[in-house]
């Protein structure tokens, strides 16, 4: 993004995708959001594989050049039918994110999202306060 008022590049990202086989995608991405200087930011490497028309498995590895922090995420997307799909992601810290989407009609899609920590579940043998979100997408 270029800010014409300050004549500065405030955010930039670049990347590429490669499909070595049908249903498989390998990608590399870099993004930086330093408004004061162009510098190295976060790097992402991801692999997605559409196992069949109903399931896709993916992984993402991220490295933040500035903080030297890294993380990994494994995800699964599943299409139950033409109107309902779900996603589950687990990161290397043991946090699970879930999403369930259902098309109510041609104009409204409902989404239910939530997450919890596997580490808390293992250490305390229970799940505390699962945050849930409900959203509606409207097509007008």
- What confidence tens digit (pLDDT) does each residue in 28-41 have? 999 886 666 667 88
34/43 Cα distance (integer angstroms):
14
- Judged against a pLDDT cut of 70, whether residue 64 lies above it is answered with yes
pLDDT (mean) for 7-25:
84
Provide the terminal-to-terminal Cα distance of the chain, rounded to the nearest Å.
30
pLDDT digits (tens, 9 = 90+) for 94-105: 899 999 999 999
What is the pLDDT, as a whole number, of residue 86?
Answer: 97
43-80 exposure pattern, b = at least 16 Cβ within 10 A, e = fewer: bbebebeeeeeeebebebebbeeeeeeeeebebebeee
- The torsion angles phi and psi of 27, rounded to 5 degrees, stand at -140, 155
Structure tokens at 39: 């510098």
- Give the predicted TM-score (pTM) of the model: 0.74
Compute and round to an integer the Cα radius of gyration of the chain.
Answer: 19
pLDDT at 13: 83
């Amino acid at each position: 993004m270029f800010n014409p008022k300050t004549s500065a590049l405030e955010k930039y990202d670049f990347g590429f995708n490669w499909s070595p086989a049908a249903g498989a995608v390998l990608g590399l991405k870099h993004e930086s959001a330093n408004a004061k200087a162009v510098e190295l930011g976060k790097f992402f490497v991801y692999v997605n594989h559409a196992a069949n028309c109903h399931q896709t498995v993916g992984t993402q590895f991220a490295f933040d050049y500035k903080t030297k922090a890294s993380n990994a995420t494994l995800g699964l997307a599943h299409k139950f039918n033409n109107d309902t799909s779900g996603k589950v992601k687990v990161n290397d810290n043991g946090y699970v994110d879930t999403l369930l989407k259902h098309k109510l009609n041609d104009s409204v899609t409902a989404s239910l999202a939530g997450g919890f920590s596997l580490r808390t579940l293992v250490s305390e043998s229970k799940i505390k306060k699962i945050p849930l979100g409900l959203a509606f997408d409207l097509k007008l």
